[in-house]
């Protein structure tokens, strides 16, 4: 479950919470952990030491001022670290969007669930920075985003996450919470389901430009299938919490797009069911008309 040699830095003003977070990390098998309580110390430490992940408490960085994450982002070459946001309650959608724009790679909420902590770490490790100018040109080619202007697309990319998966790696499993959906930028995704608790059946192979996991946004139900990278794959990931805000024209237009896709897939499924029923009726009719000898 992940690279346990990751160098981890934890920022939290409350010593008990800091120690508790350290304890969770150690229980999960991570051994190189440093804790600090003052945001300014983070920059001093990063000047002399290399860290892979920073767990930053939301209240702590707010007490420092809104410039903490922005400073990290603007000086990424000097401070090349990925940031996981620690929250103890739900935050406003606008604040969440601001955090995404300023470079956080994932979010974890107190009290920590071990599997959620591992997922947040894996998400951060998979995150790749987007060169927006190049990404916009590439994504503009995808029909999925044709409903957005260039300006809207740039805004949407700033509140999404770009994740990289290697061939065979799992994106999500059947039964997991549906808290995000994806658009394939490069690669192929295989959607499958376990039949009769034994056999795995492939339901679909999705190519560049396709979306999947959209039911997470539309009804919040658990996953009903498994998604795996068929080859090396790059995905755009959209957080359900951001989409639920419906607080601007971009998220409203994206929700409308997802609803259209879901409706189209539902019509396709209904047409397939009708074809199967017609074929079965024809077969039954042929069988009943065959004379018995």
Given this model, what pLDDT does residue 100 score?
85
Q: Which residues pair with 43 in a beta bridge?
A: none
C-alpha–C-alpha distance, residues 185 and 139, integer Å: 7
pLDDT of 187 reads 93
Say yes or no to pLDDT of 29 above 60: yes
Side-by-side strand order, sheet with 233-239:
161-165, 233-239, 180-186, 211-212
Domain that holds residue 205: 132-267
CATH number for the domain spanning 22: value is 3.40.50.2300
In a domain, 136, yes or no: yes
Q: How many domains does the chain have?
A: 2
Which residue shows structure tokens 């994106």? 171
Q: Is residue 138 domain-resident?
A: yes
According to the model, what pLDDT value does residue 90 have? 79
Kindly state whether residue 276 falls inside one of the protein's structural domains.
no
CA distance 171 to 167: 11
Write the CA distances from 278 to 266, 284, 287, 289, integer angstroms. Answer: 18, 10, 14, 17
Same domain, 174 and 230: yes
Determine the Cα–Cα distance for residues 120 and 116; give it in Å rounded to an integer: 6
Residue 163 falls in which region: left (phi positive, over 0), alpha (psi -120 to 50) or beta: beta
Report pLDDT for 206. 93
Same structural domain for residues 90 and 152?
Answer: no
For 119-129, how does the pLDDT look when each residue is reduced to its tens digit (9 = 90+)?
Answer: 889 889 888 77
Percent pLDDT > 90 in the chain is 27
The domain that holds 218 is classified in CATH as 2.60.120.10
pTM of the model: 0.74
């Amino acid at each position: 479950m992940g690279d346990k040699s990751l160098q981890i830095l934890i920022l939290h003003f409350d010593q008990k919470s800091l120690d508790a977070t350290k304890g969770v990390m150690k229980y999960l098998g991570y051994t190189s952990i440093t804790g600090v309580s003052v945001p300014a110390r983070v920059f001093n430490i990063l000047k002399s030491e290399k860290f892979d992940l920073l767990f930053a408490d939301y209240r702590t960085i707010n007490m420092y001022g809104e410039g903490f994450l922005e400073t990290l982002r603007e000086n990424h070459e000097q401070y090349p670290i990925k940031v996981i946001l620690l929250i103890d309650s739900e935050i406003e959608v606008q604040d969440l969007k601001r955090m995404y724009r300023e470079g956080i790679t994932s979010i974890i909420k107190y009290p920590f669930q071990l599997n959620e902590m591992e997922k947040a770490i894996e998400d951060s490790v998979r995150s790749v920075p987007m060169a927006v100018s190049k990404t916009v040109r590439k994504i503009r080619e995808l029909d999925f985003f044709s409903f957005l202007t260039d300006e809207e697309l740039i805004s949407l990319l700033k509140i999404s996450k770009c994740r990289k998966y290697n061939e065979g790696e799992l994106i999500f499993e059947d039964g997991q919470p549906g808290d995000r959906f994806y658009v394939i930028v490069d690669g192929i995704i295989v959607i499958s389901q376990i039949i009769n608790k034994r056999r795995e059946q492939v339901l679909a192979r999705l190519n560049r430009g396709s979306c999947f996991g959209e039911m997470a946004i539309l009804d919040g139900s658990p996953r009903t299938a498994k998604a795996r990278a068929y080859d090396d794959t790059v995905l755009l990931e959209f957080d359900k919490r951001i989409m639920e805000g419906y607080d601007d024209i971009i998220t409203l237009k994206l929700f409308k797009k997802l609803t259209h896709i879901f409706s189209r897939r539902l019509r396709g499924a209904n047409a397939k069911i009708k074809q199967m029923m017609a074929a079965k009726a024809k077969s039954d009719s042929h069988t009943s008309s065959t004379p018995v000898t």
